[in-house]
Amino acid sequence: MSEIIRIAVDGPGGAGKSTIAKLVAKKLGIEYIDTGAMYRAIGYKTSVKGIDPANLPAMEDMLSDTTIDFVGGSIILDGENVDGAIRTPKMSMMASKVSQLAPVRAKLVASQRQMAAAKSVIMDGRDIGTNVMPDAEYKFFMTASAEERADRRYKELVQKGIDADYDEVLKDIEKRDYEDTHRELDPLKPAEDAIILDTTGIGIDEVVERILGEVK
């Protein structure tokens, strides 16, 4: 694509944002930025180092020595591919905790804005259209019922060989939804000019085509 375009995709966990965004990126030939993975990566490093997220000086010290990048669709934390390590219910909750911290948000949002300024991107997360890229050319808010989102996440974990319990996954989804929508810093909500896409009972291809139809 000759001109730089920015596509924001927001929504709760399990709505299919990452899957859809990756496919749209491939069809349009633009970069996919998984901001949720960035918060998961910070949560993962916090957990591995045994740092209490409430200890802001320790968090800030850790952040000053942290690098996050995307290579071939994989997230690289301090030079290491952590795709598998961050895709667990525990890391989902850790991501929710660290995403409420101002120093973490400041570092990652600055990084995300730099990416969006340099090239055409489709970026998914919780506050892309409302905070990270409020001037994005296209904004979408994807959602689905908590039960369907839990079922998708459960099947994803089982497929990866991770031991999972549907009821626990649903409980985690509902807890994450509450925390994301009630946090003080940039709570999860649709941008005023976002197109709402309820993916409950809708196939992936149909959602991709609806987004491509709007962009093209």
Return binding residues.
11-19
Vertex 175: Cα angle to 89 and 99 (nearest 5): 70
**Interatomic CA distance for residues 138 and 7, integer angstroms:** 5
Residue 213: other Cβ atoms inside 10 A: 8
Mode of pairing for the β-strands spanning 68-71 and 121-125: unpaired
User: Closest by alpha carbon to 23, among 198, 190, 209?
Assistant: 209
For tokens 């320790």, the residue is 58
SS3 category, 202: coil
Contact indicator for 23, 208 with CB cutoff of 8 Å:
yes
User: Closest by alpha carbon to 200, among 126, 125, 148?
Assistant: 148
User: Closest by alpha carbon to 38, among 94, 89, 90?
Assistant: 94
**Interatomic CA distance for residues 112 and 34, integer angstroms:** 10
Binding positions for ATP are 11-19
User: Closest by alpha carbon to 130, among 121, 122, 140?
Assistant: 140
